[in-house]
Structure 1
C-alpha cells in the first residue's frame, strides 16, 4: 500500500514538473517578443508587459531581452503608471548606459515627471524633477533630437515653478508678511526671468520695500507743550 502511495506521489510530482517546464518553454523568445509587440500596438499594455516580462525573465541572454526591458517601460508610460515607468527607464539606463536609446530613455524619464506637474497652487516637485532631468539630457546630448524636444518642455517647467513662487509670494503679501513675500518675488526675478511673472514680481517687490521702509521709520515724538 505504501509503495503504491509513493508511486502515485512520484507520478504527480513528475507530471507537475513536466507541466512547469512545458508552460515555461511553450513559447520561444521570438514568439514572446512578437506577442508583446502585438499587444503593445493594440493598446493592450498590461498584456504587453506580461509578455515582455516573461521574455526578460525566461530568456535574459536573448537578443530580444533589451527590447523587452525598454518596451516594459514604454507600456507603463502609456498606462500613465509613471512611477513604474520611471523605475523601468532608470533601470534600463543603469544596465545599458551606452545603449543608443539612452537619450530617448532620459527624455521619457523627464516626460514622466512632466506629465505629473500639478497646478501652481500645489507642490512643484514633479516640475523640478522634470527640469533637472531635461537639463541632464541637454547637457549630455545637446545635439540629439530628444534634447530639442526637452527644451520646449523646459520652458513649461520654468513657467510652472515661477508661477508657484509668485502665487506663494502673493499669498504672503496679502497677509502682510512682506519679508516672506519679498523672498518669493526675489526668487521669481532671479531664478525665472522672462517666463511671464518677472515684471509683476518686480512691482510687488517695490511695494514690499515701501512697506518695509515705512515700518522702519521711527514714529514722531510729539513736542512738549
Structure 2
C-alpha cells in the first residue's frame, strides 16, 4: 500500500512540473531574428545606407557564408556601377579574398592575379601590404615537404622578402618575418639532407657546397650546428683521402693534409662560437681535441643569442610526427621565432668552385718552397716601341757596297772621323781601328770570301733526229732559189685505178 501511494505521488509531481514548463513556454517571448554577424567585414562599423555600401555589406555576408560566386557578383556590380565609390579599394581587395578563400589551384592562381592587380592600382595604400602578404600565403599553403618539390617554397620566400622590403612600416611585418623563418627552415632542411647524402657517398665537394650554402644563407636554421659539423667532417675526409693517396710525394701529402685539417678545425670551431648551446657542440669539441687543436670559448653575446633561439624552437612531438604523415605540407614547429631572417639571398656555393679551390690548394702544396719561375719576356713587334723589361741589343751596321757583302765590316776610327777611313784599294794595317780584328763588331760569316764556281747543269743527251752543229748541209741562196722538179706521177704507186687514155681504153688488159 505504501509503495502504491508513493508511485502515485511521484506521477502527480511529474505532471505538475510538466504543466509548469509548458506554461513557461507559452509565455516566452518570440525569438527575434539574429543580427547579421559582420565581424569579417572591415567596414561593418560604418553606418551608411548608401547603395554602394549596401552592396559591399551584402557581398561580405555572402563571402562569410561561403557563397563565393554571389560575393564576386555583388562586388563586380558595385565596381561597375559606382566606379568613384569610396569603398572601391576594399571591394577590389575582397574579390581576391573570395578566390583565396575558395581554395584550389585554379582559384589560388586567380587570387594571385587579383592581388597583383590591386598592388598595381593602389601601390601606396596600406592594403597593398596586405595584398602582398596574401600572395606569399598562397605559395605557403601549397608548400611541399623538404624532400618533395620545392618551387612553391622558393616562390613563398621570394614573395615574403618582397613584402618586407617594400613595406617595412606595415604592421604585418612581424607575421611576414615568422612566415619567412618557416619557409627558410624547409629550404635549409632540403639542402642539408642533400649535403649529408653526398657526404655519405664520399662526394666531398658536392657535400661542402650544399652545406656551406645552408650555413651562409640560413643562419637561423635549427640544425645549423649539424651542417657545420658535416662540413668539418667532409674536409677531414678529404685529408684522409690525401693521406691514403698512392704515388704522392710525402712532403706534398703532409702539406695538403694540414691544409684540409685547418679547414675542418675552422668549421668545428664555428659550431662552438656561433651555436654554443646546440646539441652538436660536444661533438665539435671532441673532434678538435682529437686533432690536437685548441678549443675556442664562446662569448657571452653568442651564448645569449643562441639561448634565445633554442628557447623559441619547439621540439617535435609524437602528434607532430603523426600529422606529418597525414598532411601535405611540411612541419615547421622547429623553426626559430626570434632573430632576423635573411632577406637577401647571397651567392650560392657550387661544387665546381669547391673543386677549383681544392686544385689551388694542391698547387700551393706542390710548389711550396720552390723558387718562382722566371717570366719570359716577349719581344716587341716591328711597329711597337721598346719596353723597359726587354734586353737591349747592339744594332748591326748595314753592309757596305764594296766587298763581298758577307758579314759586317766596321772601318770607322774610334773618334768617329769618317775622313780617316782608308780607300777600298788600300790595305788596312793591322792594329788600326779599321782592322777587322780590332773592330767593334767583327764580320759575321766565313773568312774565305771567294765564291764557289757556279755549277752548270749536265748536258742533255743527243736526240736521234737532231742535227749536230757543223754536220748539216749548208743551203746557199742560189740553191734555195732553184725550183724543185715536179714528181712523176706515173712512177708513184697508188691503190687507185688509173684512167686509160686514147686507144688504151679499147685494151681490156
Pick the TM interval, shorter chain.
0.7 to 0.9
Partner of 1:47: 70
Query: Which has the larger displacement, 50-59 or 76-85?
Result: 50-59
Q: 1:163 aligns with which of 172, 189, 192?
A: 189
Q: Does 1:33 align with 2:59?
A: no
2:198 touches 2:204 (CA, 8 Å); kept in 1?
yes
Once the two structures are TM-superposed, the CA of residue 92 in structure 1 deviates from its matched residue by 0.4
Partner of 2:46: none
Q: Distance in 2 between matches of 1:106 and 1:155?
A: 17
Once the two structures are TM-superposed, the CA of residue 89 in structure 1 deviates from its matched residue by 0.5
Q: Deviations over 1:112-153 (max 9, x none)?
A: 222222111123232232222222322333332111211111
Partner of 1:4: none
Partner of 1:79: 102
Q: Distance in 2 between matches of 1:105 and 1:199?
A: 37
Once the two structures are TM-superposed, the CA of residue 43 in structure 1 deviates from its matched residue by 2.2
CA RMSD of aligned residues (A): 2.3
1:107 touches 1:147 (CA, 8 Å); kept in 2?
no
Q: Distance in 1 between matches of 2:203 and 2:139?
A: 32
Matches within 5 A, 1:67-216: 67-80=90-103, 81-216=107-242
Once the two structures are TM-superposed, the CA of residue 40 in structure 1 deviates from its matched residue by 0.8
Partner of 1:219: 246
1:127 touches 1:160 (CA, 8 Å); kept in 2?
yes
1:39 touches 1:48 (CA, 8 Å); kept in 2?
yes
**Cα 1:214/1:142, change in 2 over 3 Å:** same
Q: Which runs of 5+ in 1 are unaligned?
A: 1-27
Q: Distance in 2 between matches of 1:106 and 1:137?
A: 6
Matches within 5 A, 1:5-20: none
Once the two structures are TM-superposed, the CA of residue 209 in structure 1 deviates from its matched residue by 1.4
* TM-score, structure 2 normalization: 0.36
The alignment partner of 2:56 has SS state of: helix
Q: Deviations over 1:166-195 (max 9, x none)?
A: 122123223332221211111111111232
Q: Deviations over 1:78-104 (max 9, x none)?
A: 122322211111110001112221121
**Cα 1:189/1:35, change in 2 over 3 Å:** same
Q: Distance in 2 between matches of 1:131 and 1:46?
A: 31
Q: Distance in 1 between matches of 2:71 and 2:102?
A: 11
Q: Distance in 1 between matches of 2:112 and 2:200?
A: 39
Q: Distance in 2 between matches of 1:72 and 1:63?
A: 16
Structure 1 or 2: more helix by fraction: 1
2:126 touches 2:170 (CA, 8 Å); kept in 1?
no
Once the two structures are TM-superposed, the CA of residue 39 in structure 1 deviates from its matched residue by 0.6
Q: Distance in 1 between matches of 2:89 and 2:57?
A: 14
Q: Distance in 1 between matches of 2:86 and 2:126?
A: 15
Matched positions, count = 194
Once the two structures are TM-superposed, the CA of residue 30 in structure 1 deviates from its matched residue by 5.0
Q: Distance in 1 between matches of 2:206 and 2:102?
A: 41
Once the two structures are TM-superposed, the CA of residue 29 in structure 1 deviates from its matched residue by 4.7
Once the two structures are TM-superposed, the CA of residue 59 in structure 1 deviates from its matched residue by 4.4
